[in-house]
Amino acid sequence: MRALLNRWPAALGVAFAVSRLATDDPQSLSGVLLVLMLATTGYVVIAASVRPGWSWSIVGALVVLVLATRLTSTGPVVELAVMVVIIVAAIVTGLIRRTWTRSDLYRWQPYAAVAFVAISLGALWLSPEAGRVLIAAGLVGHALWDLAHWRRHQVVSRSLSEWCGALDFTLGLGVLVLTLWPGLV
């Protein structure tokens, strides 16, 4: 029981992913795409701030922003646009502050953000099935990114990288299974 309590971020991430898989429309791309974009936005904003201790607060603020945008907009395009603007602002902030010149994982944040945004937006140009497969691959890729941060204990808090890794991996794998083998469930 104590081991499970020590892994609360992973348990919470898996629970959130399972609830998304159970409630998300399996034909829709927007739900899983927003998870990948939110993870990407969170990491680059936390990195630009150079405040790993603010990890949960920043992600919480981003979730509130996404929910507020979702309530006031007509679709995910506005939500995606808001996150892209935040990502660009964080990258520019990191450039000005010279955060991206460091020799640790901070150096790779803008490149990772651009790659995950490209995957997310690229998925919109594909068929819904191919788009979901690409987003699933992006989520699994982000889970590996989370693992690198967790192992090195850099950029974001360790609990956030553990939570995000469990969420991304479980959701990515689940989306892949539901997309490629819809009759299984």
Classify each residue of 118-138 as buried b or exposed e, where b means 16 or more C-beta atoms within 10 Å of its C-beta. ebbeebbeeeeeebbbbbbeb
Return the pLDDT at 44: 98
Total count of domains within the chain: 1
Return the pLDDT at 149: 97
Domain encompassing residue 177: 29-184
Cα distances (Å, whole numbers) of residue 41 to 4, 50, 60, 62, 109: 29, 14, 12, 8, 10
130, 81 in Cβ contact below 8 A?
no
Return the pLDDT at 43: 98
- Cα 91 from Cα 110, distance rounded (Å): 6
Contacts of 96 (CB under 8 A, 6+ apart): none
The angle, 0 to 180 degrees and rounded to 10, between the axes of the packed helices 128-152 and 158-180 is 160
| Helical H segments across the chain, by residue range | 2-6, 8-23, 30-49, 55-72, 76-97, 109-123, 128-152, 158-180
- Cα 123 from Cα 85, distance rounded (Å): 19
Residue 39 tokens read as 């993870």
Tens of pLDDT along the chain (185 residues) come to 677 678 999 999 999 999 999 998 877 888 899 999 999 999 999 999 999 999 999 999 999 998 898 888 777 888 899 999 999 999 999 999 999 999 899 999 999 999 999 999 999 999 999 999 999 999 999 999 999 999 999 999 999 999 999 999 999 999 999 999 887 76
Return the pLDDT at 185: 63
Q: What is the pTM of this model?
A: 0.93
